[in-house]
């Protein structure tokens, strides 16, 4: 289920986590060659991706919200 990115925060290991409109969190790492998300490493890149939709597996699994 696709959900919009509405914000970001960093976890305890300083990895970026997207806050999704559904109330779930999803890591958005840039770890080439396996995960290629160069936009996540800059503030400008993250800002440009606000509103972009990510597939939320937690919604598919009916998981409880991570935040309200």
Q: Residue range 40-58: average pLDDT?
A: 98
Edge-to-edge strands of the sheet including 2-10?
Answer: 25-27, 16-20, 2-10, 53-55
**How far apart, in whole angstroms, are the C-alpha atoms of residue 66 and residue 57?**
13
Q: Residue range 3-23: average pLDDT?
A: 97
Reduced to 3 states (helix: H, G, I; strand: E, B; else coil), residue 36 is: coil
Residue 67 lies in a domain: no
- Counting residues of the chain whose pLDDT is more than 70, the rounded percentage is 100
Domain that residue 12 falls in: 2-60
Mean pLDDT taken over the chain = 96
Helix (H) or strand (E) holding 48: helix 43-48
Number of domains within the chain: 1
pLDDT of residue 51 exceeding 90, the answer is: yes
Q: Residue range 33-51: average pLDDT?
A: 96
pLDDT of residue 63 exceeding 90, the answer is: yes
pLDDT of residue 68: 86
* CATH number of the domain to which 51 belongs: 2.40.50
Residue 65 lies in a domain: no
């Amino acid at each position: 289920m696709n959900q919009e990115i509405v914000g970001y925060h960093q976890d305890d290991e300083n990895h970026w986590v997207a806050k999704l409109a559904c109330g779930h969190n999803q890591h958005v790492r840039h770890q080439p060659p396996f995960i290629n998300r160069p936009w996540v490493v800059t503030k400008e890149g993250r800002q440009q991706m606000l509103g972009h939709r990510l597939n939320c597996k937690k919604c598919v699994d009916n998981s409880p919200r991570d935040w309200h």
